């Protein structure tokens, strides 16, 4: 069974929580690939930052525009639901990589997402 960790632990260590999640997942399922990473802190920082950015972009897309007459509580519910759905989708794709896949899949995906994020930012 994989180890259990908390987002609070990541915050205390000044790490993006997604960075911690990715690192723990690799430690558990990809120890050989992890040993080959030349700069693990930078590697996982990049994954964590890209995950957070991708979640934000996806949540914005899912939330869409506020309908006319939407109340504060309705807006909060719409945005919270969008954030949770985006987080679930992105974490499954970027952090919780299937152990049967290789880390090369992650590298390809990271490159694609970085390009997409760059395109959306411009």
> Does residue 2 lie within any of the structural domains?
no
> Does residue 31 lie within any of the structural domains?
yes
> Does residue 76 lie within any of the structural domains?
yes
> Does residue 103 lie within any of the structural domains?
yes
Q: Which residues contact 20 (CB under 8 A, 6 or more apart)?
A: 5, 7, 9, 10, 13, 44, 48
C-alpha dihedral, 13 to 16 to 21 to 25, nearest 10°:
-90
> Does residue 77 lie within any of the structural domains?
yes
> Does residue 86 lie within any of the structural domains?
yes
What is the pLDDT, as a whole number, of residue 5? 45
What is the pLDDT, as a whole number, of residue 4? 44
Domain that holds residue 16: 7-121
Residue ranges in the chain whose pLDDT is less than 70: 1-13, 101-107, 109-110, 112-114, 116-122
> Does residue 95 lie within any of the structural domains?
yes
What is the pLDDT, as a whole number, of residue 8? 47
State whether residue 2 is helix, strand or coil: coil
> Does residue 1 lie within any of the structural domains?
no
Domain count, the chain: 1
């Amino acid at each position: 069974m994989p180890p259990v960790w908390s987002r609070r632990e990541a915050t205390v260590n000044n790490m993006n929580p997604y960075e911690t999640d990715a690192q723990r997942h690799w430690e558990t399922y990809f120890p050989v690939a992890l040993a080959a990473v030349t700069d693990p802190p930078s590697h996982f920082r990049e994954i964590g930052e890209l995950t957070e950015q991708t979640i934000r972009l996806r949540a914005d897309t899912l939330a869409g525009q506020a309908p006319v007459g939407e109340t504060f509580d309705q807006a909060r519910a719409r945005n919270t639901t969008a954030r949770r759905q985006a987080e679930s989708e992105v974490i499954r794709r970027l952090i919780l990589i299937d152990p049967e896949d290789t880390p090369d899949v992650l590298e390809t995906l990271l490159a694609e997402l970085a390009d997409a994020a760059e395109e959306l930012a411009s």
